Structure 1
Amino acid sequence: MIKSIVAAGLITLGAAVTGAGIAAADEVQVEGSYATLAACQADGPSVQVNKDNSKWTTYDCRQEGDGLYYLYLSN
Protein backbone atom coordinates (compact mmCIF):
# COMPACT_ATOMS: atom_id res chain seq x y z
CA MET A 1 0.00 0.00 0.00
CA ILE A 2 2.80 2.43 0.80
CA LYS A 3 4.36 1.66 -2.60
CA SER A 4 1.05 2.61 -4.27
CA ILE A 5 0.92 5.94 -2.45
CA VAL A 6 4.54 6.72 -3.32
CA ALA A 7 3.95 5.76 -6.98
CA ALA A 8 0.85 7.96 -7.19
CA GLY A 9 2.79 10.86 -5.67
CA LEU A 10 5.63 10.46 -8.16
CA ILE A 11 3.21 10.35 -11.09
CA THR A 12 1.53 13.53 -9.86
CA LEU A 13 4.89 15.23 -9.38
CA GLY A 14 6.01 14.16 -12.84
CA ALA A 15 2.86 15.60 -14.42
CA ALA A 16 3.39 18.90 -12.58
CA VAL A 17 7.04 19.15 -13.62
CA THR A 18 6.37 18.38 -17.29
CA GLY A 19 3.35 20.68 -17.46
CA ALA A 20 0.97 17.92 -18.47
CA GLY A 21 -2.61 19.09 -18.52
CA ILE A 22 -1.82 22.79 -18.61
CA ALA A 23 -3.41 24.64 -21.53
CA ALA A 24 -1.56 27.49 -23.19
CA ALA A 25 -3.50 30.67 -23.91
CA ASP A 26 -3.56 32.12 -27.38
CA GLU A 27 -2.07 35.55 -27.86
CA VAL A 28 -1.96 38.21 -30.54
CA GLN A 29 0.10 41.39 -30.76
CA VAL A 30 -1.87 44.46 -31.78
CA GLU A 31 -0.35 46.46 -34.63
CA GLY A 32 1.43 49.62 -33.56
CA SER A 33 3.38 50.76 -30.55
CA TYR A 34 3.13 53.24 -27.69
CA ALA A 35 5.65 55.71 -26.32
CA THR A 36 4.39 55.31 -22.75
CA LEU A 37 2.90 52.59 -20.59
CA ALA A 38 -0.02 54.89 -19.74
CA ALA A 39 -0.94 55.29 -23.41
CA CYS A 40 -0.83 51.53 -23.96
CA GLN A 41 -2.96 50.88 -20.88
CA ALA A 42 -5.48 53.51 -21.97
CA ASP A 43 -6.10 51.68 -25.26
CA GLY A 44 -5.95 48.16 -23.81
CA PRO A 45 -9.54 47.77 -22.59
CA SER A 46 -11.11 49.12 -25.79
CA VAL A 47 -8.79 47.94 -28.56
CA GLN A 48 -10.39 45.84 -31.28
CA VAL A 49 -8.90 43.56 -33.90
CA ASN A 50 -10.27 42.53 -37.29
CA LYS A 51 -10.72 38.81 -36.64
CA ASP A 52 -12.34 37.02 -33.69
CA ASN A 53 -12.52 40.23 -31.68
CA SER A 54 -14.71 38.68 -28.96
CA LYS A 55 -12.13 35.91 -28.41
CA TRP A 56 -9.66 38.21 -26.66
CA THR A 57 -10.56 38.81 -23.03
CA THR A 58 -7.42 40.29 -21.48
CA TYR A 59 -4.62 42.60 -22.52
CA ASP A 60 -1.02 43.18 -21.52
CA CYS A 61 1.35 46.05 -22.27
CA ARG A 62 4.99 45.06 -22.62
CA GLN A 63 8.06 47.21 -23.08
CA GLU A 64 10.39 45.83 -25.73
CA GLY A 65 14.09 46.43 -26.33
CA ASP A 66 13.40 49.54 -28.42
CA GLY A 67 11.88 51.28 -25.38
CA LEU A 68 8.36 51.28 -26.84
CA TYR A 69 5.33 49.50 -25.42
CA TYR A 70 3.38 46.91 -27.37
CA LEU A 71 -0.15 45.74 -26.68
CA TYR A 72 -0.91 42.02 -26.57
CA LEU A 73 -4.35 40.43 -26.37
CA SER A 74 -4.96 36.97 -24.96
CA ASN A 75 -7.77 34.74 -23.81
Structure 2
Amino acid sequence: EFVDDIAHFHDIIDDLDRRIGRIANQAFADCNGLEAMFKLINIFGSLLDRPKIHHVFAHNYSILIQQV
Protein backbone atom coordinates (compact mmCIF):
# COMPACT_ATOMS: atom_id res chain seq x y z
CA GLU A 1 0.00 0.00 0.00
CA PHE A 2 2.78 2.45 0.88
CA VAL A 3 4.65 1.61 -2.31
CA ASP A 4 1.54 2.29 -4.37
CA ASP A 5 0.95 5.58 -2.55
CA ILE A 6 4.51 6.77 -3.05
CA ALA A 7 4.40 5.82 -6.75
CA HIS A 8 1.17 7.79 -7.14
CA PHE A 9 2.74 10.74 -5.31
CA HIS A 10 5.77 10.69 -7.64
CA ASP A 11 3.48 10.56 -10.68
CA ILE A 12 1.66 13.66 -9.47
CA ILE A 13 4.94 15.49 -8.78
CA ASP A 14 6.27 14.57 -12.23
CA ASP A 15 3.09 15.91 -13.82
CA LEU A 16 3.36 19.15 -11.84
CA ASP A 17 7.00 19.55 -12.87
CA ARG A 18 6.07 19.15 -16.54
CA ARG A 19 3.29 21.71 -16.15
CA ILE A 20 5.63 24.20 -14.48
CA GLY A 21 8.10 23.64 -17.32
CA ARG A 22 5.44 24.43 -19.90
CA ILE A 23 4.39 27.54 -17.97
CA ALA A 24 8.02 28.69 -17.80
CA ASN A 25 8.39 28.10 -21.55
CA GLN A 26 5.29 30.14 -22.33
CA ALA A 27 6.37 32.93 -20.01
CA PHE A 28 9.82 32.97 -21.63
CA ALA A 29 8.24 33.14 -25.09
CA ASP A 30 6.18 36.12 -23.92
CA CYS A 31 9.26 38.03 -22.71
CA ASN A 32 9.92 41.10 -24.81
CA GLY A 33 13.57 41.69 -24.00
CA LEU A 34 16.69 40.56 -22.22
CA GLU A 35 15.76 42.17 -18.93
CA ALA A 36 12.43 40.33 -18.86
CA MET A 37 14.16 37.04 -19.72
CA PHE A 38 16.66 37.42 -16.89
CA LYS A 39 13.93 38.44 -14.45
CA LEU A 40 11.91 35.36 -15.39
CA ILE A 41 14.88 33.07 -14.83
CA ASN A 42 15.51 34.79 -11.50
CA ILE A 43 11.87 34.38 -10.45
CA PHE A 44 11.75 30.68 -11.29
CA GLY A 45 15.11 30.28 -9.57
CA SER A 46 15.96 26.79 -8.37
CA LEU A 47 12.78 25.34 -9.89
CA LEU A 48 14.62 25.42 -13.22
CA ASP A 49 17.18 23.01 -11.73
CA ARG A 50 14.57 20.29 -11.22
CA PRO A 51 15.30 17.60 -13.87
CA LYS A 52 11.87 17.49 -15.52
CA ILE A 53 11.55 21.28 -15.61
CA HIS A 54 15.13 21.72 -16.82
CA HIS A 55 14.51 19.22 -19.63
CA VAL A 56 11.53 21.25 -20.85
CA PHE A 57 13.11 24.70 -20.36
CA ALA A 58 16.78 24.16 -21.29
CA HIS A 59 16.46 25.15 -24.96
CA ASN A 60 15.57 28.69 -23.86
CA TYR A 61 19.11 29.25 -22.60
CA SER A 62 20.47 29.10 -26.15
CA ILE A 63 17.82 31.62 -27.22
CA LEU A 64 18.95 33.88 -24.38
CA ILE A 65 22.61 33.58 -25.44
CA GLN A 66 21.68 34.50 -29.02
CA GLN A 67 19.95 37.65 -27.74
CA VAL A 68 23.10 38.77 -25.91
Q: Indicate the structure (1 or 2) with the bigger Cα radius of gyration.
A: 1
More helix by share: 2
Give me the TM-score of the superposition, normalised by structure 2. 0.34
Which structure is higher in RCO with an 8 Å CA cutoff and minimum separation 6?
2
Give me the TM-score of the superposition, normalised by structure 1. 0.32
